[in-house]
Chain A
Amino acid sequence: MKTAVIVFPASNCDRDMVVALEKITGKKPHIIWHQDEDIPEVDLIALPGGFSFGDYLRCGAMAARSPVTKRVIEHADRGGNVIGVCNGFQVLTETGLLPGALMRNESLKFICKDVKLRVDNNDTPFTNAYAQGQVINIPMAHHDGNYFADDDTLQALEDEGRIAFRYVDDSGDATKSANPNGSRNNIAGIISRRKNILGMMPHPERLIEEAQGGTDGLGFFESMINALN
């Protein structure tokens, strides 16, 4: 599986994503600077976490207008696979590749902690290594992860099975108290209609080794190997 990781000014989880992709695919991803006009032929483009352009203006808004982002959109339009984690998810909503928006956390504070996610659709290139309904532990670290979409969009996401991950409690229920940031319907990650684009706020790339406290993030990358190799 050939991959590329896009680096915007002040991306800061780019190395973590590169390390995870290399560990799982055995191949070093292409690292693409945001001003590059070309992306080599790859199976997957990853938009990493961080604070692109300092999160000034609005998270992801300026990165969505970087030269390289046009190429990412073309890749996605051709059916190519794209993931956006944390700031990468924010960039995807700002480009319109995924619907909705990520607002400031309900508490108005940055929150870094491990959260439980339920895999609500395991029939995607990014979740097939998990069981349907499986509850996994993944770290989150963001200030603006409060997913919002209007009622119609939300209904469509639900009806079309496009909610990949939801924040849940230990027993797998999407309760209000299990919702760390105020996201509508406890949404932590969604996919595009064609299932080739995924955006999520928590960081699977931070939990792929026992030394990091667990390996629940591995399934995310293994899914892509299954689907894209």
Chain B
Amino acid sequence: MTWNNNVEITDVLVKEHGLSDDEYALCLEILGRTPTLTELGIFSVMWSEHCSYKSSKLHLKTLPTKAPWVIHGPGENAGVIDIGDNQAIIFKMESHNHPSYIEPYQGAATGVGGILRDVFTMGARPIANMNALRFGSPDHHKTKHLLSGVVEGIGGYGNCVGVPTVGGETNFHPSYDGNILVNAMTVGLADQDKIFLSAAAGIGNPVIYVGSKTGRDGIHGATMASAEFTEDTEEKRPTVQVGDPFTEKLLIEACLELMSTDMVVAIQDMGAAGLTSSSVEMASGGGVGFDFNLDMVPQREEGMTPYEMMLSESQERMLIVLKPGREDEAKAIFDKWDLDFAVIGKITDTGNLTLTFKGDIVADIPTQPLADNSPEYDRPWVKPQSKAELKNEDVQAPADMKQTLLKMIGSEHLCSRDWIWQQYDMQVMADTIQKPGGDAAVVRIHGTDKAVAISTDCTPRYCYANPIEGGKQAVAETWRNITAVGATPMAITDCLNFGNPERPEIMGQFVGCIEGMREACNILDYPVVSGNVSLYNETNGTGIHPTPAIGGVGLLSDSSKMVTIAPQAEGEVLILVGDTRGHLGASLYLEIIEGREEGAPPPVDLNIEKKNGDYVRAQIDAGNITACHDISDGGLYVSLAEMVIASKMGMKVTVDTGTIPSHAFAFGEDQARYILSVPADKVDLILNTANNADVTTQNIGIISGDELTLNSTTPISVSELLEAHKGWMPDYMSID
């Protein structure tokens, strides 16, 4: 074998490792000498955009991250919030975009595996998975293959590990033709006094490697995720990791069993940049050094070099610092679960990551500067111009309102996602009390009356038209969705997907979305507790729509009070909450019916959002309403149709549209609105309470019969609606 750790570090080699001249100079300064090849690899992955957040951290710091109920905010593996009774919810969302485009099944599957590890490494049992997916145009030749592979990969992994996948969102837009987005979120449950962090401590304590063996897969994955795609992307297939959900399931059980003892000092999963980033984070976090003997690392292939071992992104691996003398006890647990367990080193007081391979020291890097002095850029950015307001006069009234509504709910944007959800085990663990298809998924806290509500949202066409309003709207929509099931929104995780940050207009989109998110989080008292940034989502110089996907989590203290979007009985009265102005700019109506993507998005008034949401939540909590649905994509009529589809009961809706053109009233996407279904004897109470709270409400109709009648529109039968709604995706996926 010819492997030379001491090759000459040429400019070309440095470039190949994605380090700029300045970054390499900093590397020389930290080491005080020329790096070895292994060290160069370590610097390269640690300072990749993916691991270092070098373009984004300046702006991320401006997001609100604190609240009395936040136990751990950003900086740990996942965010931790207090849900009472010594219990905590631990959650995070993460992207796996580039790998999923190259190899959709494995890319998506390992995305799920990675986010699960981020959560259980903190001591939580994962209780729900969610996702946010963006694909290119259905007409694009790859879309079908990617959709099929991604969904199967998410299901294949999540179903096997036995964590229910309870919801998510799926969008299609040509801006994702060459760069799909696969964002996966995991929510876990832990006891507050059993939360584990990654900071290593205790000089001399043993450092343990557990889980799968290390292979050559995924080498340079983090670097790949930090570069644009080009024509030769297919050649990067070998850098996509391969998932083994069976091992992950064993690893969850073994780690939770270990963590139920008092043996663990610190624990960290090996995610992006594998053994490198996990060890550097643990050591630098604790201000200590690690001494590793790489010969002890369990290896899947022969002849692996230190460089390969340190950069491998083989899945299903964890690094653990144990209390001294507990190795045998811990090993017995991993033996039971048939997982590798190897003492690969110990904690030192040097502050360095010192790697020995076959008797030679192959790397010796001070971890503190490697982690803390990583580059941070204030990239130039230009304030993005909001698209011009669209005048309603410039949008034609549809010839046939009924056909228009059927076309909208039968489009790829609004059609049923059953084809996707049915491939996910939505009910394993038997605590799913609201399945996908409603406003938020709801999962009971096992053995209690409490439940968590979860929603992932973002409207990229709004973010593209006006990043600030779009950023606000993404946060507000999760807040609204969580409210609509009756839960109190608590905190968010974010997954910020953008194009190339070295282009000022892309950086401007990023800064704008952050500004909007910040404002929304502040006013809604809804902090960011974890997140991930995915930049360079571009192919051949074309960026995706800015997509700050938000995963919101809320708490229902009494899960029996939860409502769904399905009205319960004939005769219930429909109340519209919020102001309708008929905003058609950047709407789905405009896109689906007129084929136009124009106009400014609907403005988000966060104070009204809060007022209306607090009112709705209080009504649900008081038991005054039987169903609730927020109004978002497609506007009022689409939301009403969705309630009919969910309940299979008809509605008679009579609504005075005032001076607003009826199609704008029907399909405008004004924010901060909900539809409530209310028993007739509660209507006066509902309207009076709203009046006292200064919330706009309007009685718009009743639940009746088996047709949806909307003002003078030709009635649409429930079966016509169901038929129109369910067909698109199965039809699309069945054509070869």
Contact = CB atoms under 8 A, between A and B. Distances in A.
A96 interface: no
Interface in B314-343: 336-338
A111 B423 contact: yes
A49 B421 CA distance: 19
A55 interface: yes
A112 B162 contact: no
Contacts of A199: none
Given A109-B152, A113-B422, A206 B427 contact: yes
B170 to A, nearest CB: 16
Interface string A1-24: 000000001101101100110000
Contacts of A49: 428
Contacts of B421: 112
A50 B422 contact: no
A156 B422 CA distance: 33
Nearest to A9: B250
Contact of A15 (B159, B425, B429): B429
B161 A211 contact: no
B433 A211 contact: yes
Given A9-B338, A109-B423, A112-B423, A16 B429 contact: yes
A205 B250 contact: no
A212 interface: yes
A35 B332 CA distance: 14
A109 B351 CA distance: 51
Interface stretch (B196-204, B241-249, B510-518): B241-249
B160 A54 contact: yes
A27 to B, nearest CB: 17
B12 interface: no
Most A CB within 10 A of own CB, among B160, B337, B427, B444: B427
Given A51-B159, A212-B430, A112 B425 contact: yes
A23 to B, nearest CB: 11
B337 A16 contact: no
A139 interface: yes
Given A109-B423, A211-B560, A55 B160 contact: yes
Contacts of B428: 12-13, 16, 49, 141
A55 B162 CA distance: 13
B427 A203 contact: yes
Given A56-B246, A112-B425, A113-B422, A9 B560 contact: no
Nearest to A16: B430
A56 B421 CA distance: 24
B470 interface: no
B560 A51 contact: no
Contacts of A112: 159, 421-427
Contacts of A113: 418, 422
Contacts of A205: 430
A182 to B, nearest CB: 15
Interface string B240-270: 0000111101100000000000000000000
Contacts of B247: 54
Interface string B540-580: 00000000000000000001100000000000000000000
A13 B422 contact: no
B585 interface: no
B337 A9 contact: yes
A91 to B, nearest CB: 16
Most A CB within 10 A of own CB, among B418, B435, B560: B435
A36 to B, nearest CB: 11
Contacts of A203: 427
Contact of B422 (A12, A111, A211): A111
Interface string A82-120: 000000000000000000000000000111110000000
Given A9-B338, A13-B428, A51-B246, A110 B159 contact: yes
A149 to B, nearest CB: 26
B384 interface: no
A12 B250 CA distance: 11
Contacts of A211: 433, 444, 559-560
B155 interface: yes
B246 A50 contact: no
A69 B337 CA distance: 18
A52 to B, nearest CB: 9
A148 interface: no
Nearest to A211: B433
A90 B498 CA distance: 45
A48 B560 CA distance: 28
Contacts of B249: 9-10, 12, 51, 54
A110 B250 contact: no
B159 A54 contact: no
Nearest to A11: B162
Contacts of A213: 433, 435
A9 B432 CA distance: 23
A195 B430 CA distance: 28
A99 to B, nearest CB: 27
A12 B162 contact: yes
A67 to B, nearest CB: 13
A110 B155 contact: yes
A19 B245 contact: no
Contacts of B425: 110, 112, 141
A95 B440 CA distance: 42
A226 to B, nearest CB: 23
A110 B152 CA distance: 8
A109 B425 CA distance: 12
Contacts of A20: 430
Contacts of B156: 110
A50 B338 contact: no
B489 to A, nearest CB: 22
A143 B433 CA distance: 23
Interface in A177-204: 203
B423 A50 contact: no
B331 to A, nearest CB: 16
A53 interface: yes
A110 B164 CA distance: 13
A56 B423 CA distance: 19
Contacts of B433: 211-213
Interface in A23-66: 33, 35, 49-51, 53-56
Most B CB within 10 A of own CB, among A20, A112, A139, A141: A112
Contact of A141 (B244, B245, B427): B427
B589 to A, nearest CB: 31
Contact of A50 (B152, B162, B418, B430): B162
A115 to B, nearest CB: 11
26 contacts: A9-B338, A10-B249, A12-B161, A12-B428, A15-B430, A50-B162, A51-B249, A54-B246, A54-B247, A55-B160, A109-B152, A109-B423, A110-B159, A110-B425, A112-B421, A112-B424, A113-B422, A141-B428, A211-B433, A211-B444, A211-B560, A212-B427, A212-B430, A212-B432, A212-B433, A213-B433
Among all A-B residue pairs, the 4 with the closest Cβ atoms: A12-B162, A54-B246, A16-B430, A51-B160
Given A110-B159, A113-B422, 7 more contacts: A9-B249, A9-B338, A12-B162, A16-B430, A112-B424, A139-B427, A211-B444
